[in-house]
A and B are shown apart, each in its own frame.
Chain A
Amino acid sequence: MLERLLIISAVLFCIGLYGVLSRRHIIAVIMSVEIMFNAVNVALVAFSRYTVPASLRFPGAGTDVERFVLEGQTLAVFVIVVAAAEVALGLALIIALARRRDTIHISDLSTLRR
């Protein structure tokens, strides 16, 4: 089951990466970044569900550990929160850019070269 979830995660990550590297529109790039975040979240939740390191097990918990360990899921919630903040910041930058440069096409923005 873990392998299937990880494959879904990898596919999502690659879709997101492709979007980041290929889209010209900056909003689409931000959206692709969100897809990559979520690919990571899927992987986190999957690992949390199926693999737990011995150091995290409660004494006497036996093999039934899924009820007790939620670190991976917690981390996924954190990622969602941070991603929301990041999108807010990113959109603000895009608005500032649009006002200043009158463009939100990434190929027009090559000032790093200078």
Chain B
Amino acid sequence: MLPEAAAWLIIGLPLLAGVFSIAVLRPWSRSLWQYAGYVGIAGTGAAFVLSLIAVNGAMGNGDAGYEPHAWFAVGAIGAQDGFRMTVGILLDPLSAIMAAVVSGVSTVVQVFSLGYMRKDEHDANGTWSDYPRYFTYMSLFTASMLGLVLAYNLIQLFVFWELVGLFSYLLIGFWYHRPAAAAAAKKAFIVTRIGDFGFMLGILYLFLNRGEFTALGLNPFEIPAILDAAPMLSAGIATWVALGLFAGAAGKSAQFPLHTWLPDAMEGPTPVSSLIHAATMVAAGVFLVARLFGLFEESAAAMNTVAIIGGFTAVFAAAMGLAANDIKRVLAFSTVSQLGYMFLALGVGAPGVAMFHLFNHAFFKCLLFLGAGSVHHSVHTFDMRYMGGIRRWMPITYLTTLVGGLSLAGIFPLAGFWSKDEILTTAWSGAHAANTGVSQLVFWLALAAAFMTAFYVFRLIIMSFHGEFRGGIDSVPHEERIPDEAHHEVHQHESSRVMTLPLIVLAVFAVGSGFVANSLIDLGPVPAHWFSHLLHEDAPKFNIGIALASTVVAVAGIGLAVLVYGTRTVSFDGLGRLWRWGHRLLAERFYMDALYEDLIVRRALYRGLFLVSDWFDRRIVDGVADLAGWLGRNSGRAIAQLQTGHIQVYGVGVSMGAAVILIFYLMQR
């Protein structure tokens, strides 16, 4: 069993690595900047080892049961409404698994970054200045996520939640000199902040109703206490708190209607996208709902909301992925869609299944992104229209991406198949769902999304790796190039070993993680349904009919993609105008960005609300300040008229004043 100090080190070591890079390495030893990556990898890797020990401990004991430490008192302890705010580590199977995924994926991504970020090694000054900054952000990002995962207290979780938001902002805007990257970073920060507002409201509502908890002798913010109290709360409290928290989760996990930031977040370095999509940022929302699942379970309204939003987003985002030309954007829509799957699973009452999909998704999505990064290193563009035929000189990248794609599509027996199958089975049976009708509805949505997923991922693979090479960066029109990448040239060779090795490691996981972790049969060291049982859940019964249905749907999607983009035996052009309209709608992302940016931000806010607040600021706020200044200036000017310079006038004033005081004094008596 891991001692508590070691559990704190899971957060502390990446934090220390990040602080060391930024506070010691960067200012003091310019010659060692190039080694910043090893510092980050050491810190995160050590956290990974500790997390594995924690998972091992959780297998035997379940909850580690660390006592939280007192932080400050709210109200009088013992009195009604009084409680003690605490901080601590909540290390149970759920957080142990999550910590291991976060630190493991982060370590792999940082190893990949050693190679990928090398192109930034020499900036304009011929230094490695971006190198320590990059690895600092990565380490601190990881530390924040680990803090979120291990938080004992909802407030503590919220603090790390915001820190994750901050470091995602810094990483997405890492190339801050590119206007698109700066805008994307702002967009990610602001859109997730809208969700976080809901999170705050949920916390405040919880605080307003703290009396319900203190009456039970429980702490209103400690996560285990919330779960204990959930069945005993008055009606409505669970619903409103759960919906507030879900708003935060939907913002972080890019669910409809707060999904718009995630595709834009592709402006960051590719390993950052990989980390954000696989384990760190977007997983936080799913984790939050899974963490507080006992609370959500008490409210049918919250559960149905989660299920429907999840199911809708799964289809909605997959549809947008069908028409994107940027390889990273396709993967981004895919992530949104897969997160929809996870919320769908949560909404139909299966947090273990959702976490299982999160677990598998982390590996194959990380793999796909790193594959895209590897491709970019060769052709220096993300636009699939200018790729093609890359498999000829990048066999390792091709094969690993293919494995990731098959896993994402849900092909037997790869990782994605098993968790997707569990989600579909749970949704179909509706055994744990609040509403069977909703559960059945989202099953069909999930099946539709599975078809689209298979189609777009093979569209991606065929467009970028098969067929004739279409020139890479050399054929990209000059006006479309990113200025500081304009000078790059196509290098037709495989990426360096430091980049291919992480791909191979992740490919192994993308193949095996599903079958091994939650196997149907005993596998010697790993018992059957290890993952579900670790999270104290019964795995859904394997349903051969649903497994066949999902496989048929996935193969159909792949087949259609091959026919359309590979052999070109099928073409959509026959559909004529309908096809063009549909394609336009998808390529424009259902005009959601236009709606938000043009209609809401530019028109409603900028020309409406902001005009009013601008007027208020200029007229009322500034007016009061100006009035104070005007009064001072003009009363001063008026008084200055009295200063004539004639001493006798002053003398009259003094005498009159003395006389007034004298008369006043005399009248007093």
Chain A residues at the B interface, C-beta cutoff of 8 Å:
17, 20-22, 106-107, 109-114
Given A17-B655, A21-B655, check contact A112 B647 (CB 8 Å).
yes
Q: What is the CA–CA distance of A111 and B648 in the complex, to the nearest angstrom?
A: 13
Residue of B with least CB distance to A14 = B655
B644, B651, B652, B655: the one within 8 Å of A110 (CB): B644
Contact between A106 and B651, CB atoms less than 8 A apart: no
* B119 CB within 8 Å of chain A: no
B655: chain A residues at CB < 8 Å are 17, 21
Q: What is the CA–CA distance of A21 and B647 in the complex, to the nearest angstrom?
A: 9
Chain B residues at the A interface, C-beta cutoff of 8 Å:
643-648, 651-652, 655
Contact between A112 and B651, CB atoms less than 8 A apart: no
A112: chain B residues at CB < 8 Å are 643, 645, 647
| 24 residue pairs from A and B, CB less than 8 Å apart | A17-B655, A20-B648, A20-B651, A21-B648, A21-B651, A21-B652, A21-B655, A22-B648, A106-B646, A106-B647, A106-B648, A107-B646, A109-B647, A110-B644, A110-B645, A110-B646, A111-B645, A112-B643, A112-B645, A112-B647, A113-B643, A113-B644, A113-B645, A114-B645
B645: chain A residues at CB < 8 Å are 110-114
Q: What is the CA–CA distance of A21 and B623 in the complex, to the nearest angstrom?
A: 45
Q: What is the CA–CA distance of A54 and B647 in the complex, to the nearest angstrom?
A: 42
Distance to closest chain A CB from B646 (angstroms)? 5
Q: What is the CA–CA distance of A61 and B90 in the complex, to the nearest angstrom?
A: 98
Q: What is the CA–CA distance of A17 and B659 in the complex, to the nearest angstrom?
A: 12
Residue of A with least CB distance to B654 = A21
Residue of B with least CB distance to A29 = B648
A106: chain B residues at CB < 8 Å are 646-648
Distance to closest chain B CB from A112 (angstroms)? 4
Q: What is the CA–CA distance of A77 and B645 in the complex, to the nearest angstrom?
A: 35
B648: chain A residues at CB < 8 Å are 20-22, 106
Residue with the greatest number of chain B CB neighbours at <10 A, chosen from A21, A109, A111: A21
Distance to closest chain A CB from B151 (angstroms)? 71
Q: What is the CA–CA distance of A71 and B40 in the complex, to the nearest angstrom?
A: 94
Q: What is the CA–CA distance of A113 and B645 in the complex, to the nearest angstrom?
A: 4
Cβ-closest 5 pairs across A and B: A113-B645, A110-B645, A112-B645, A21-B651, A21-B648
Distance to closest chain A CB from B488 (angstroms)? 72
Distance to closest chain A CB from B409 (angstroms)? 91
A17: chain B residues at CB < 8 Å are 655
Distance to closest chain B CB from A43 (angstroms)? 15
Q: What is the CA–CA distance of A107 and B651 in the complex, to the nearest angstrom?
A: 13
Is the contact region of chain A dominated by helix, strand, or loop, or is it mixed? helix
A114: chain B residues at CB < 8 Å are 645
Residue of A with least CB distance to B648 = A21
Q: What is the CA–CA distance of A113 and B644 in the complex, to the nearest angstrom?
A: 6
Q: What is the CA–CA distance of A94 and B645 in the complex, to the nearest angstrom?
A: 18
Residue of A with least CB distance to B649 = A21
B652: chain A residues at CB < 8 Å are 21
Residue with the greatest number of chain B CB neighbours at <10 A, chosen from A22, A106, A112: A112
Distance to closest chain A CB from B653 (angstroms)? 10
Q: What is the CA–CA distance of A95 and B648 in the complex, to the nearest angstrom?
A: 20
Q: What is the CA–CA distance of A114 and B655 in the complex, to the nearest angstrom?
A: 23
Distance to closest chain B CB from A25 (angstroms)? 12
Residue of A with least CB distance to B643 = A113
Q: What is the CA–CA distance of A42 and B189 in the complex, to the nearest angstrom?
A: 88
A107: chain B residues at CB < 8 Å are 646
A20: chain B residues at CB < 8 Å are 648, 651
B646: chain A residues at CB < 8 Å are 106-107, 110
B651: chain A residues at CB < 8 Å are 20-21
Residue of B with least CB distance to A110 = B645
- Beyond the given pairs A17-B655, A22-B648, A110-B646, 13 more chain A to chain B contacts, judged by CB atoms under 8 angstroms and listed by A's residue number, are A20-B651, A21-B652, A21-B655, A106-B646, A107-B646, A110-B644, A110-B645, A111-B645, A112-B643, A112-B647, A113-B643, A113-B644, A114-B645
A110: chain B residues at CB < 8 Å are 644-646
Distance to closest chain A CB from B657 (angstroms)? 13
Q: What is the CA–CA distance of A21 and B644 in the complex, to the nearest angstrom?
A: 14
Residue of B with least CB distance to A107 = B646
Residue of A with least CB distance to B658 = A17
A21: chain B residues at CB < 8 Å are 648, 651-652, 655
B643: chain A residues at CB < 8 Å are 112-113
Distance to closest chain B CB from A8 (angstroms)? 18
Residue of B with least CB distance to A18 = B655
Q: What is the CA–CA distance of A95 and B200 in the complex, to the nearest angstrom?
A: 83
Q: What is the CA–CA distance of A110 and B648 in the complex, to the nearest angstrom?
A: 10
Q: What is the CA–CA distance of A112 and B652 in the complex, to the nearest angstrom?
A: 16
Distance to closest chain A CB from B309 (angstroms)? 77
Q: What is the CA–CA distance of A22 and B646 in the complex, to the nearest angstrom?
A: 11
Distance to closest chain A CB from B522 (angstroms)? 104
B647: chain A residues at CB < 8 Å are 106, 109, 112
Q: What is the CA–CA distance of A110 and B647 in the complex, to the nearest angstrom?
A: 7
Q: What is the CA–CA distance of A109 and B644 in the complex, to the nearest angstrom?
A: 11
Distance to closest chain A CB from B665 (angstroms)? 15
Q: What is the CA–CA distance of A110 and B643 in the complex, to the nearest angstrom?
A: 10
Residue of A with least CB distance to B646 = A110
Residue of B with least CB distance to A108 = B646
Q: What is the CA–CA distance of A20 and B651 in the complex, to the nearest angstrom?
A: 8
Distance to closest chain B CB from A6 (angstroms)? 14
Q: What is the CA–CA distance of A107 and B646 in the complex, to the nearest angstrom?
A: 7
Q: What is the CA–CA distance of A106 and B646 in the complex, to the nearest angstrom?
A: 8
Q: What is the CA–CA distance of A22 and B651 in the complex, to the nearest angstrom?
A: 10
Distance to closest chain A CB from B641 (angstroms)? 11
A109: chain B residues at CB < 8 Å are 647
Residue of B with least CB distance to A24 = B648
Distance to closest chain A CB from B114 (angstroms)? 75
Distance to closest chain B CB from A90 (angstroms)? 14
Q: What is the CA–CA distance of A111 and B644 in the complex, to the nearest angstrom?
A: 9
Q: What is the CA–CA distance of A109 and B648 in the complex, to the nearest angstrom?
A: 10
A22: chain B residues at CB < 8 Å are 648
Distance to closest chain B CB from A39 (angstroms)? 14
Residue of B with least CB distance to A111 = B645
Q: What is the CA–CA distance of A54 and B140 in the complex, to the nearest angstrom?
A: 87
Distance to closest chain B CB from A94 (angstroms)? 14
Q: What is the CA–CA distance of A22 and B645 in the complex, to the nearest angstrom?
A: 15
Q: What is the CA–CA distance of A20 and B644 in the complex, to the nearest angstrom?
A: 17
Q: What is the CA–CA distance of A22 and B655 in the complex, to the nearest angstrom?
A: 13
Residue of B with least CB distance to A112 = B645
Q: What is the CA–CA distance of A112 and B651 in the complex, to the nearest angstrom?
A: 13
Q: What is the CA–CA distance of A110 and B646 in the complex, to the nearest angstrom?
A: 5
Distance to closest chain A CB from B407 (angstroms)? 90
